[in-house]
C-alpha cells in the first residue's frame, strides 16, 4: 500500500503514521518529494488491510498496489530519481557515459583505455575485475588486483568506477573500490546478492536478465530498495530471442516503458545488446532518442587482441564518433552529453 500525505502534513503527523505502521509489524518506506511525502507500506497483506489509514492525521489517501513492486514505481515516487555519484548526476538532464574494456586485463590496457574514454568525454570507467564466464576454463578476471588497477585509473583520470560484483562474499571488497556496483545479467535474480548490495551505500547498476520480463526486473530492483538502498540504475543489455544475427536483441521499448512505470534512471548497453561493433553507434543514438539516461559501452585500445568480447568493442576512433553523434541526438530532445 502507498499512503499519500496531505501537502500540509506536519513532521509529527508523518512520524505518527510511520509509528502506527511499524507497531503492527509492518515496514514503512518514506519518499519525501518537493510537495508532499509518500509512505510505502510493506508486509503481510492481512495486516495492511487492517490498518485504519484513512483515520490517521495528515493522510490524504491510500492507494492499494497490486503489483509486487512498490518502491520502484512512479506511483510511490512521481519525480525522477537523480543519483549523485560524487558530483556526477545519473538520471538528470545530462547523459552519463560509462565506457572501457570488458575485462581489466593489465595495467597498460586499463590506463590506456581510461584515458581514451576520458578524453572522449565519458564520466565513468567500466571494466570487470571479477568476470562471470560460461566456461570454468575461461579467463575469470584479475580479481582484487583488477580493483586496484581501477582505483589507480580513477586517480589518474578522475573517472568514476563501475564494476561488477558477482557474489555476496566480495560485496564488501568491491564496494571499497567501486563508485557504482554492477549486478550482471546472470545475477539479476540472485536474490541474496541483491539483498547484500541493498545494504551497501553504493549505487547499484542492475543489468536485465537474458530472459527477464519487465516485471521481474522491476522486482529485482525492489529487492535492492527494500533493503534501504534507493540508488538503483536499470541497464538494458538485450534479451535472448531466436534471432542470431545479433548476440542479443536490444529491447529499447523497455527503456521507454521503464521511464513510464518507474522513477529510476535507465541506461543502455548497446555493446552486449548487439554483440556487433558495427551496430553499436546506431543503437547508441537510438537509445538516447528513446530517452535513456546514459550508455554503457565497451571500448578497447585494440579490440582484435581483447581477452573477451573483442567483436563488440569499439575502437577509440569509433567511440569518439559515437560520443559526437549522441551529443547531437541528446540536444535534439532537450538533453545534453
Binders in 96-125 for a copy of itself, by CB under 8 A: none
Q: Does 133 bind a copy of itself (CB under 8 A)?
A: yes
Nearer to a copy of itself by Cβ, of 157 and 187: the residue is: 187
Q: Does 296 bind a copy of itself (CB under 8 A)?
A: no
Nearer to a copy of itself by Cβ, of 250 and 306: the residue is: 250
Dist. CA 91–CA 6, nearest whole Å: 27
Nearer to a copy of itself by Cβ, of 114 and 232: the residue is: 232
Cell 533493503 belongs to 227
- 261: cell is 512505470
Shortest gap between Cβ of 8 and a copy of itself (angstroms)?
31
| Binder among 10, 12, 64, 68 for a copy of itself (CB under 8 A) | 68
Shortest gap between Cβ of 111 and a copy of itself (angstroms)?
25
Cα 245 → chain centroid: 27
Q: Does 302 bind a copy of itself (CB under 8 A)?
A: no
Shortest gap between Cβ of 138 and a copy of itself (angstroms)?
7
Residue whose C-alpha is closest to residue 314's, from 147, 158, 122, 184: 122
Q: Does 253 bind a copy of itself (CB under 8 A)?
A: yes
Shortest gap between Cβ of 153 and a copy of itself (angstroms)?
26
Shortest gap between Cβ of 13 and a copy of itself (angstroms)?
26
Nearer to a copy of itself by Cβ, of 158 and 282: the residue is: 282
**Residue 100 in contact with residue 114, Cβ under 8 Å?**
yes
**Residue 246 in contact with residue 311, Cβ under 8 Å?**
no
**Residue 103 in contact with residue 127, Cβ under 8 Å?**
yes
| Binder among 151, 257, 307, 321 for a copy of itself (CB under 8 A) | 257
Nearer to a copy of itself by Cβ, of 36 and 195: the residue is: 195
Binders in 166-225 for a copy of itself, by CB under 8 A: 166-169, 186-187, 189-193, 195, 209-211, 213-216, 219, 222-223
- Which segment (30-38, 115-123, 239-247, 300-308) binds a copy of itself by CB under 8 A? 239-247
Dist. CA 95–CA 82, nearest whole Å: 11
Q: Does 291 bind a copy of itself (CB under 8 A)?
A: yes
Residues 6+ apart with CB under 8 A from 102: 127, 128, 131, 298, 300, 306, 307, 308, 309, 313
Dist. CA 295–CA 236, nearest whole Å: 9
Shortest gap between Cβ of 160 and a copy of itself (angstroms)?
26
The DSSP code sequence of 32-58 is: E-SS-EEEEEES-HHHHHH--GGGSTT
Nearer to a copy of itself by Cβ, of 61 and 215: the residue is: 215
**Residue 223 in contact with residue 194, Cβ under 8 Å?**
yes
Crossing angle (nearest 10°) for helices 316-332 and 107-120: 30
Amino acid at each position: 500500500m502507498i499512503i499519500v500525505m496531505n501537502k500540509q502534513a506536519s513532521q509529527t503527523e508523518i512520524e505518527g503514521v510511520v509509528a502506527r505502521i511499524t507497531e503492527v509489524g509492518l515496514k514503512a518506506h518514506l519518499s519525501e518529494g518537493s510537495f508532499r511525502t509518500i509512505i510505502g507500506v510493506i508486509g503481510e497483506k492481512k495486516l495492511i488491510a487492517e490498518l485504519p489509514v484513512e483515520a490517521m492525521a495528515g493522510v490524504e489517501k491510500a492507494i492499494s498496489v497490486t503489483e509486487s513492486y512498490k518502491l520502484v514505481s512512479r506511483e510511490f515516487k512521481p519525480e525522477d530519481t537523480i543519483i549523485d555519484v560524487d558530483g556526477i548526476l545519473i538520471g538528470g538532464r545530462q547523459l552519463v557515459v560509462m565506457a572501457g574494456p570488458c575485462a581489466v586485463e593489465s595495467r597498460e590496457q586499463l590506463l590506456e583505455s581510461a584515458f581514451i574514454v576520458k578524453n572522449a568525454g565519458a564520466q565513468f570507467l567500466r571494466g570487470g575485475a571479477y568476470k562471470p564466464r560460461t566456461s570454468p576454463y575461461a579467463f575469470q578476471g584479475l580479481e582484487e588486483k583488477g580493483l586496484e588497477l581501477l582505483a589507480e585509473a580513477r586517480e589518474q583520470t578522475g573517472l568514476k568506477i563501475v564494476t561488477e560484483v558477482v557474489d555476496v562474499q566480495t560485496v564488501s571488497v568491491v564496494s571499497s573500490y567501486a563508485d557504482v556496483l554492477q549486478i550482471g545479467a546472470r545475477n539479476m535474480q540472485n536474490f541474496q546478492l541483491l539483498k547484500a548490495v541493498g545494504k551497501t551505500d553504493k549505487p547499484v547498476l542492475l543489468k536485465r536478465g537474458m530472459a527477464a520480463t519487465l516485471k521481474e526486473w522491476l522486482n529485482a530492483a525492489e529487492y535492492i530498495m527494500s533493503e534501504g538502498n534507493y540508488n538503483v540504475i536499470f541497464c538494458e543489455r538485450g534479451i535472448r530471442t531466436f534471432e542470431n544475427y545479433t548476440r542479443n536483441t536490444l529491447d529499447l521499448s523497455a527503456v521507454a516503458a521503464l521511464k513510464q512505470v518507474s522513477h529510476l534512471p535507465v541506461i543502455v548497453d548497446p555493446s552486449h545488446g548487439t554483440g556487433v561493433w558495427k551496430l553499436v553507434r546506431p543503437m547508441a543514438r537510438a537509445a538516447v532518442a528513446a530517452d535513456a539516461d546514459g550508455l554503457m559501452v565497451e571500448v578497447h585500445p585494440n579490440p582484435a587482441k581483447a581477452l573477451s568480447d573483442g567483436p563488440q568493442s569499439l575502437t577509440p576512433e569509433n567511440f569518439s564518433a559515437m560520443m559526437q553523434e549522441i551529443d547531437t541526438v541528446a540536444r535534439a530532445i532537450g538533453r545534453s552529453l
